[in-house]
Structure 1
């Protein structure tokens, strides 16, 4: 039914104007004919009535001697010959009816009009009246009857019916209506014919076009002919074939695009602000965990898929593109179906508007999680230490600079802790670099656990890449940045926490290793206004902590800058001191308690700087160990001590053992045996007059290698003493395994005896147990008679200290020997 209506409507639109024109013309002609008939018919009726009235008036004038009824009868004869006459009446001069004749049902003659009854001689007067009751209209005509001399004898009154005229008009109207109806019927037939011949092919083309718009191209259009419709059908069929091919290629291309987008983890979307709707592609819907196929969702719901941290920024960019029409690209995070966020690159550009489509915004989303992970990995490698995973120097300095700038704005405090593992080089050389690396990695983890969550120094790049809390600058040096401190003293709390964290032993491949750290602290804004100064001053404070005996922390003070400059100057001068002959040896006598005679002397190196004067060993020995200069310096001490001992003997002085300290760095040298024996040989000194002093830590660190080397020394006749006994491992049990000849009790135990009961007990125990192992005992740091008496009562073999003599130059020591020989 709808199709037929469309078909008739199309035909009607083509033929209705002509049909309306014909009908309008027919109606116009009919109207004109009716008008003319009414006009001419009325004129004819009036003329006939007037003539009838005049003729009757003349006839009545000729019969003025005849009775009125006879006159009326004569006049009434006219009714028989004229159907339009309704009545005829004869009236006297005063208007009184003398007689009348009328048709059945005709109205009675009305009274004469006043104008004719009062007027003088003249023609007939007519008027149009309506019959009472029926309303039928008719003409009433009155004509005067004139006698001789223009004498008015009376009137003749005639009624003329208009019904005949009305019947004629009705007949014309009926004819016109018939013609109009015939035209309508004919037009309907024509429309039906055109609907079949013209609208049907067009409707077929319309249906095929509608299906093509929906992506269906299978409907064929069976329209033939060479007219315009046929040409249109041929053109459509050709276009349909091209569209079918293009659509097929487009569908295949879309399938390939979807596949490529799935492989590349891409999707696209379109937002029409006018209706507030976002349409997502199948791939984007899959990435967001939406139902399969294209997903249509409100704009607010689309923004909900953006990670909360990025939502406001993304909404602003989309609004800017919609407003300004400028394409933009933004990286942000989306929430996946599992609730976790992933990184995407969203390329946004305007769409529609100029081509008739509603203006909107479209975007292409690509999952760049792998790229971001690779960037984080590259950045981690660039800014982190491979061994410990902590931040490296570059990252530390970058974050320190940022933190200083923030602290300046907020007028806040921050601190830099410079942490250096004590004696790590010795440990690394003793146990090997592999174990050393594992120790550093574990130390880094312990340091990282010591700080607050807010004390972070790595850049906040991504939530998947946790920020490190500590940095490794190089080797065994670490740094920690503390921000938003309540006071400068807060840094000391972390420093103590670091010391506590490092205190438990490290278990590495069967080795139990103890680590300590020296920590330097600088505080912003007091100790520096920039990152470089703060780090340098923390480093300076760290060295001050080492100078305090290590395993402690020190705040930076301005005086340390001068100390650091002095240290740098000393290091530079130290490298040339040997060449310039600036070193000399002092000797401190070792006195046998039984005889109170000098039986030995400890060689102690001194440095006479040309500008600074005599430099304390506490200053330059650590520098020599750090720089490696201790090896050539130690070789010189050995050679010089052996030469001096031989010189005293050659001078006739009593021979004594000269004790020379060997550092852990020297002990790691492969040719140490060659160096020692070479010094004896060069001086011509018998090996029994040389004693080598080593610390407990050297024995424990070097293990079997130390035992083997010491045996070689003993086999060569060289005595071996354990120096500073009691400050290191302090285990008498291991001594029986090492080829040593004596122990030297450290001055820290001697200085408070006999007042300190604990130190006295320890000293007595060391002496007793050493004698049980057939070892001699030498006590260091003896400064008064009470100490001497206690040691004598405990059976100590020898003592060394200021009570007898401080370290003195070789010539003064020779004087001491000479006095004993006298």
Structure 2
């Protein structure tokens, strides 16, 4: 067939074959190029997909109907499907509630229609958990290749942030509710805008109509007094800076001008990312009544409620201040301690109500005796103190002391009665008297006052160093006295009481004696007052009673009518400290009745007797225990009490017996006492009989019994036995 072709045909064939060969090469090049382009495109697409899928945000593309054109893996995972399967579908196809899905579709349609990019807060249902998640979505509309609108959505999951905000809002709501529940006025301050929102309670508390407020912080400051604003502002600034919480007590003024004490508290509930405060919430509570109660408590803690004077607590503080001032100025100061004499008698006779009136008037009088800068205080009971500071001339203290004594000695009008008291005043000077502390100064004044009382009362006494020595000796005596009873350092002596008509011993007085291991015999005159002042008299008195009754039981074996007298301190009658039940039981255990013992009391007990003493006396009578009135005649009002109390014996004081002579005034007094006592059915014992002449005169005056050195001194029980044995049997 080749041979049949002409040259032109062959050329044409060759041309065609060459063209075909060339075309085949181009096709191979194009195919190769297309392959490489597709590979690059696939790589870029894979890279883009990787970038999209690795993003934590949800990235999606929707068409003009709201159908998915593209979605990254977080979107697919949220809806529980794959990126490929989501294309062409709507949100409602993946379990989103219809209303929510439709709202989302309408939102994207509206944005595509507007052509404006928007940031939207929205929510959708998480297919994985079934819970609603919250997003901040950026939605950008644009036109597709087909000219139809499309929208790109990048949604950032803010569910955790939303929940945190909800918790914060819930906490805030609970805080506001709690604050409202307390009845406090609640305020809410938005710092960027300066807006201040106030609760209805605020308007009620401060008396303003809501329309009268501007809604700014000025509403708060207009109620705060000018003098307190700086402190309140400082506290607010510290809270806003995070240096402290805001809790302030200050005044606020009502619309009517009345000041209230308030407790103002708050906290910052919202801050910007840089820490700047955005919002502060708090409350204001009316604490006016609490403040008044606190003031009252402080007043009661520092001032005497009866007289209005500083009490001991305030006095000690003021005294320390005066001492410090004296140290700084070099000027002296004086402390005066006053005790009202005979005040107890006023209380007991007229009653405590009138006694209180006397104390109030005494406080007023004392204040009139001093300068306004001086201090008058009531320490308690009928004891007052005065502090005179800044003394350029210490001699002026004497004038004040005299004025004080004169003031309290003037009669006190108590209703229809008039009462008279006096004062014992102790004075110490600072720093002259050598002490440098409050306690030392008080001790000095107390010691001086004690001496003033001992010297007759109604007088003043300056402190002297010798008083300190006496006080120190007294302290040593107290220290030694406390263990003396336990160490069996006490013993009893007995002094016979003789029946004058027969000359026979029929009674004995038990007298306590103290033999100190180093001091030797200590006089009762020394240790009995100490025992009384320290309260040890109660244990000592009980021991004396028990010991004396043991001895009485021995003597009554041979002398069934024998009696022993026991001295009883007035303090043992106070507050019912005598245990009569135990005493009666002790007598019963010894086989004794009440007539075995006579209790000797002093006139002072009867003159100061209250209802407790009277009750004790009645119980003694019921127990059959007899009572003797000791040292009769030394008081000025003893006769008034003989009918009031059940007294069996009176003992004529030795001061009437000492100078007893025929036709002497002392004899007339003794005869009158004996006659009066017998008329009242009382027996009489004369004390201090030392001579036969005294014995004879008292016998002639019909005195019943005698006691004194004429018959015997106080002796131990063994010696007393010999005295009894020496008597001729009846």
TM class by shorter chain equals 0.5 to 0.7
Following superposition, the deviation at residue 638 of structure 1 comes to: 0.9
Structure 1: where are the runs of 5+ without partners?
1-250, 269-341, 343-368, 459-468
Would the alpha carbon gap of residues 595 and 370 (structure 1) be closer, same or farther in structure 2, given more than 3 Å must change?
Answer: same
Q: Which residue of structure 2 aligns with residue 775 of structure 1?
A: 682
1:201-240 per-residue CA deviation (whole Å, 9 max, x = no partner) reads: xxxxxxxxxxxxxxxxxxxxxxxxxxxxxxxxxxxxxxxx
Q: Which residue of structure 1 aligns with residue 589 of structure 2?
A: 682
> Distance in 2 between the 1:794 and 1:503 partners?
43
Q: Which residue of structure 2 aligns with residue 472 of structure 1?
A: 378
Q: How does 1:641-680 map to 2 (within 5 A)?
A: 641-650=548-557, 656-667=562-573, 668-669=575-576, 672-680=579-587
Q: In the alignment, is residue 390 of structure 1 matched against residue 312 of structure 2?
A: no
Q: In structure 2, which of residues 340, 344, 359 is the aligned counterpart of residue 443 of structure 1? A: 359
Q: In structure 2, which of residues 636, 645, 650 is the aligned counterpart of residue 738 of structure 1? A: 645
1:740-794 per-residue CA deviation (whole Å, 9 max, x = no partner) reads: 2111223444445559976655444322211211211122334556655554443
Q: Which residue of structure 2 aligns with residue 606 of structure 1?
A: 513
| Counterpart contact for 1:470–1:479, Cα < 8 Å | yes
Q: Which residue of structure 2 aligns with residue 721 of structure 1?
A: 628
Q: In the alignment, is residue 634 of structure 1 matched against residue 553 of structure 2?
A: no
Range moving further from structure 2, 742-751 or 579-588: 742-751
Q: In the alignment, is residue 399 of structure 1 matched against residue 323 of structure 2?
A: no
Would the alpha carbon gap of residues 810 and 267 (structure 1) be closer, same or farther in structure 2, given more than 3 Å must change?
Answer: closer
Would the alpha carbon gap of residues 692 and 370 (structure 1) be closer, same or farther in structure 2, given more than 3 Å must change?
Answer: closer
Following superposition, the deviation at residue 579 of structure 1 comes to: 2.0
| Counterpart contact for 1:638–1:679, Cα < 8 Å | no
Structure 2: where are the runs of 5+ without partners?
1-210, 229-258, 260-287
Following superposition, the deviation at residue 493 of structure 1 comes to: 6.7
| Counterpart contact for 1:782–1:799, Cα < 8 Å | yes
**SS of structure 2 residue aligned to 1:732:** helix
Would the alpha carbon gap of residues 621 and 256 (structure 1) be closer, same or farther in structure 2, given more than 3 Å must change?
Answer: farther
| Counterpart contact for 1:413–1:488, Cα < 8 Å | no
Following superposition, the deviation at residue 665 of structure 1 comes to: 3.1
Following superposition, the deviation at residue 684 of structure 1 comes to: 3.1
Would the alpha carbon gap of residues 793 and 480 (structure 1) be closer, same or farther in structure 2, given more than 3 Å must change?
Answer: farther
1:676-712 per-residue CA deviation (whole Å, 9 max, x = no partner) reads: 3223223333433311122344445556665565455
**SS of structure 2 residue aligned to 1:744:** strand
1:525-568 per-residue CA deviation (whole Å, 9 max, x = no partner) reads: 43234342222211233344455576765432222223222322
Would the alpha carbon gap of residues 451 and 585 (structure 1) be closer, same or farther in structure 2, given more than 3 Å must change?
Answer: farther
Count of residue pairs the alignment pairs up: 465
Would the alpha carbon gap of residues 615 and 731 (structure 1) be closer, same or farther in structure 2, given more than 3 Å must change?
Answer: closer
Would the alpha carbon gap of residues 476 and 808 (structure 1) be closer, same or farther in structure 2, given more than 3 Å must change?
Answer: farther
| Counterpart contact for 2:377–2:384, Cα < 8 Å | yes
Q: Which residue of structure 1 aligns with residue 21 of structure 2?
A: none
Q: Which residue of structure 2 aligns with residue 90 of structure 1?
A: none
> Distance in 1 between the 2:495 and 2:404 partners?
41
Q: In the alignment, is residue 815 of structure 1 matched against residue 686 of structure 2?
A: no
Would the alpha carbon gap of residues 574 and 642 (structure 1) be closer, same or farther in structure 2, given more than 3 Å must change?
Answer: same
Q: Which residue of structure 2 aligns with residue 528 of structure 1?
A: 434
> Distance in 1 between the 2:290 and 2:627 partners?
64
1:591-630 per-residue CA deviation (whole Å, 9 max, x = no partner) reads: 3333333332221222223333322223332333333322
TM-score (norm. length: structure 2):
0.52
Following superposition, the deviation at residue 642 of structure 1 comes to: 0.9
**SS of structure 1 residue aligned to 2:542:** helix
Q: Which residue of structure 2 aligns with residue 454 of structure 1?
A: 370
| Counterpart contact for 1:417–1:480, Cα < 8 Å | yes
**SS of structure 2 residue aligned to 1:527:** coil
Would the alpha carbon gap of residues 734 and 454 (structure 1) be closer, same or farther in structure 2, given more than 3 Å must change?
Answer: closer
| Counterpart contact for 1:586–1:808, Cα < 8 Å | yes
**SS of structure 1 residue aligned to 2:703:** coil
Following superposition, the deviation at residue 720 of structure 1 comes to: 1.7
1:33-70 per-residue CA deviation (whole Å, 9 max, x = no partner) reads: xxxxxxxxxxxxxxxxxxxxxxxxxxxxxxxxxxxxxx
Q: In the alignment, is residue 419 of structure 1 matched against residue 354 of structure 2?
A: no
Q: How does 1:143-162 map to 2 (within 5 A)?
A: none
Q: Which residue of structure 1 aligns with residue 703 of structure 2?
A: 796
> Distance in 1 between the 2:604 and 2:219 partners?
69
| Counterpart contact for 2:340–2:421, Cα < 8 Å | yes
> Distance in 2 between the 1:396 and 1:729 partners?
37
**SS of structure 2 residue aligned to 1:602:** strand
| Counterpart contact for 1:399–1:457, Cα < 8 Å | no
> Distance in 2 between the 1:519 and 1:507 partners?
24
What's the Cα RMSD here?
Answer: 5.0
**SS of structure 1 residue aligned to 2:643:** helix
| Counterpart contact for 1:635–1:675, Cα < 8 Å | no
> Distance in 2 between the 1:506 and 1:489 partners?
30
**SS of structure 2 residue aligned to 1:479:** strand
| Counterpart contact for 1:447–1:498, Cα < 8 Å | no
| Counterpart contact for 1:426–1:665, Cα < 8 Å | no
> Distance in 1 between the 2:691 and 2:580 partners?
38
Would the alpha carbon gap of residues 258 and 635 (structure 1) be closer, same or farther in structure 2, given more than 3 Å must change?
Answer: same
| Counterpart contact for 1:519–1:545, Cα < 8 Å | yes
Q: How does 1:214-233 map to 2 (within 5 A)?
A: none
| Counterpart contact for 1:456–1:470, Cα < 8 Å | no
Q: Which residue of structure 2 aligns with residue 301 of structure 1?
A: none
| Counterpart contact for 2:509–2:566, Cα < 8 Å | yes
Would the alpha carbon gap of residues 732 and 371 (structure 1) be closer, same or farther in structure 2, given more than 3 Å must change?
Answer: closer
Q: How does 1:584-603 map to 2 (within 5 A)?
A: 584-603=491-510
Q: How does 1:741-780 map to 2 (within 5 A)?
A: 741-751=648-658, 761-780=668-687
| Counterpart contact for 2:408–2:422, Cα < 8 Å | no
| Counterpart contact for 1:499–1:551, Cα < 8 Å | no
> Distance in 1 between the 2:703 and 2:478 partners?
40
> Distance in 1 between the 2:667 and 2:406 partners?
30
1:187-213 per-residue CA deviation (whole Å, 9 max, x = no partner) reads: xxxxxxxxxxxxxxxxxxxxxxxxxxx
Q: How does 1:276-675 map to 2 (within 5 A)?
A: 380-405=299-324, 407=326, 412-420=331-339, 439=355, 442-443=358-359, 445-450=361-366, 453-455=369-371, 469-474=375-380, 476-483=382-389, 484=391, 490-491=397-398, 494=401, 497-498=404-405, 501=408, 518-532=424-438, 533-545=440-452, 553-650=460-557, 656-667=562-573, 668-669=575-576, 672-675=579-582
**SS of structure 2 residue aligned to 1:738:** coil
Following superposition, the deviation at residue 635 of structure 1 comes to: 1.5
> Distance in 2 between the 1:486 and 1:792 partners?
64
Q: Which has the larger radius of gyration?
A: 1
> Distance in 1 between the 2:295 and 2:369 partners?
21
Would the alpha carbon gap of residues 671 and 403 (structure 1) be closer, same or farther in structure 2, given more than 3 Å must change?
Answer: closer
| Counterpart contact for 2:606–2:641, Cα < 8 Å | no
> Distance in 2 between the 1:451 and 1:592 partners?
59
Range moving further from structure 2, 543-552 or 798-807: 543-552
Would the alpha carbon gap of residues 520 and 783 (structure 1) be closer, same or farther in structure 2, given more than 3 Å must change?
Answer: farther
Would the alpha carbon gap of residues 625 and 682 (structure 1) be closer, same or farther in structure 2, given more than 3 Å must change?
Answer: farther
Q: How does 1:705-716 map to 2 (within 5 A)?
A: 706=613, 709-716=616-623
> Distance in 1 between the 2:555 and 2:387 partners?
58
> Distance in 2 between the 1:456 and 1:717 partners?
60
